[in-house]
Structure 1
Amino acid sequence: MTYPGGVLVLLPPSETKATGGNGAPLDLESMSHPGLTATRREIAEELSALAADVPRSLEVLGLSERQAEEVRRNGELWDSPTAPALERYTGVLYDALDVGSLEATERKQADSRLAVASALFGLARGTDQIPAYRLSGGTSLPGLGTLRSTWRPVLEPALAEADELIVDLRSSAYAALARTPGAVEVRVLSEDASGKRKVVSHHNKSHKGRLARALAQSAREPETVADVLEVAADAGLRVEQEGDRALCVLTSV
């Protein structure tokens, strides 16, 4: 099946965020996917209010006392500077994606083709301006309950309406926020000399970042699973198709 809308790559977020930014404070009305605005506001208000109680925030967010600075960030959600979503998240996957090194045309493609699956924002496109924050997909907020129960009723319909081929690189905690039955599922396995395969977290993140970068850089809009396989191969990735909508990226150890 061909998707004339091109490709939408769902990235997992990261716990670590770049600090600062040059953008104006958070403006939910200016973000992409306006159908998510009400839920974004509900979660943001709950998270920022929770920050007034540091011990409770640490407990709810699963943080140690040494991470109290993360709570302070949440308390400043509405006032702190923002940065484009693809520049806000850091870590192994985002190091491999390396949006800062993309050429201008490639960066525009990254902004339109990539979206971060966020516990706070649901989906954040590359140009969405967001502050630093701390909230994980498996969290239950006191006034709302689980993020899965909060997001699914609004996020699943939003993704179901997408006319793009969805390539799902999310981790399990974020995949639980919205099911995507028609998406291309991607897993990464390390293969040793004997042919034995296993999951290795670092390789998983770095190779998903490399695949996302390749899909952002492709001059031709990927519209089919075959297109994704071709783009991956051209980028030097070893990818096997495991089913109609399942791909496995292999790396050697």
Structure 2
Amino acid sequence: MLILLPPSEGKAAPRRGRPLDLATLGFGSLTAARGRVLDALVDLCATDVDRAAAVLGLGATQTELVLRNAELRDAPTARADRIYTGVLFDALDLPTLSPAARRRAATRVAVTSALFGLLRPTDAVPAYRLSGDTTLPGLGGVAGVWRQHLGPAVTDALGAGLLVDLRSTTYAAFWRPEPALAPRVATVRVLHEHGGTRKVVSHFNKATKGRIVRAVLEDGGRPRTPGQLADLLRDLGWKVEETPPGRHGVQLDVVVDEV
């Protein structure tokens, strides 16, 4: 099983740690592409702070994020599961998993990243600012870069297992499963039900996805089809509805009425 997560916009900046070494990161086939994106981002941020802020969608009070990007090659790193913050990652709380669940996370979880493509929770990276819808001068849209490379990396890591896709729309555009994989792809959507109406609410969506991944990792089960994953989630206490299979897999709707 491979669980694909979106990244978080906010990140914790480590005070100490070794500098970034792309060769040590998981998904080694992405190393060259990572270097290209990193070079483009660092060059932009080291050359013109104002232009970089505009390209990255940052406000006038966020120039420290531009300066941080300019120093990414020498910045201290920490494990990705300590760098990413926010609602989903707070609910998942990877560092506090049981030892067995942490071992499962190391091989079953991957975070989609505009800078690094894919990361394992144990990969050592610096805090950075780069959104998945950014277009970098001299490189183009980062989504387009990763669309050329993520397919083989994901399918190699997936093997014969189930792909559980929890990415947001922006990061889902980096790579979409081929129709041949559809029987082994489950896309999870969280719906908030209130007063007979259902809708996607960002906070509920992110928090519930984090809790789902945590519970699945702690449970240790290995569903091999979307239907088996739906059954596991029901056993773990969620209300789950399956949609008919599509060309990219099966959508599982997890319906919640409170955080």
| 1:166 is aligned to 2:163 | yes
Provide the identity percentage: 48
Q: Distance in 2 between matches of 1:60 and 1:154?
A: 23
Once the two structures are TM-superposed, the CA of residue 105 in structure 1 deviates from its matched residue by 1.3
Which residue in 1 is equivalent to 2:192?
A: 190
Offset at residue 16 of structure 1 (A): 0.1
Contact 1:218 1:231 in 2 (8 A): no
- After TM superposition, the structure 1 = structure 2 runs for residues 118-197 of structure 1, keeping only pairs within 5 Å, are 118-161=113-156, 162-163=158-159, 164-181=161-178, 182=182, 183-194=185-196, 196-197=197-198
* TM-score normalized with structure 1 length: 0.92
Give the TM-score normalised by structure 2: 0.90
The alpha-carbon distance between structure 1 residues 231 and 73, as it changes in their structure 2 partners (threshold 3 A), is farther
Between the aligned partners of 2:10 and 2:149, the Cα distance in structure 1 is 26
* Aligned equivalent of 1:48: 42
For residues 50-90 of structure 1, what are the alpha-carbon distances to aligned partners after superposition, in whole Å with 9 as ceiling and x for unaligned? Answer: 11111011010000011111111111111111111122110
In the aligned structure 2, how far is the partner of 1:119 from the partner of 1:65?
Answer: 22
* TM-superposed deviation, 1:241: 1.3
The worse-fitting range, judged by mean Cα deviation, of 119-128 and 154-163 is 154-163
- 1:251 is aligned to 256
Q: For the structure 1 residues 86 and 231, does the alpha-carbon distance in structure 2 shift closer, same or farther, using more than 3 Å as the test?
A: farther
Task: Identify the residue that residue 81 of structure 2 maps to in structure 1.
Answer: 86
Which residue in the other structure is 1:37 paired with? 31
1:229 and 2:226 aligned: no
- 1:21 Cα deviation (Å)? 5.4
Residue equivalent to 2:70: 75
The whole-number CA distance in structure 1 between the counterparts of 2:176 and 2:17 is 32
Quote the residue 2:6 is aligned against: 12
Which range moves more in the overlay, 27-36 or 220-229? 220-229
Q: Does 1:213 align with 2:214?
A: yes
CA 51–37 in structure 1, closer or farther in 2 if over 3 Å, else same = same
Question: How many equivalent pairs are there?
Answer: 246
Give me the CA root mean square deviation: 1.4
**Counterpart Cα distance in 1 of 2:155 and 2:86:** 29
Gaps of at least 5 residues in structure 2 are none
Residues 114 and 216 in structure 1, CA contact (< 8 A), matched pair in contact too: no
State the one-letter code of the partner of 1:175.
A
Secondary structure of residue in 2 paired with 1:96: helix
Q: Distance in 2 between matches of 1:235 and 1:81?
A: 39
Unaligned runs of 5+ residues in structure 1 are 1-6
CA distance in 2, matches of 1:230, 1:85: 30
Secondary structure, counterpart of 2:62 in structure 1 = helix
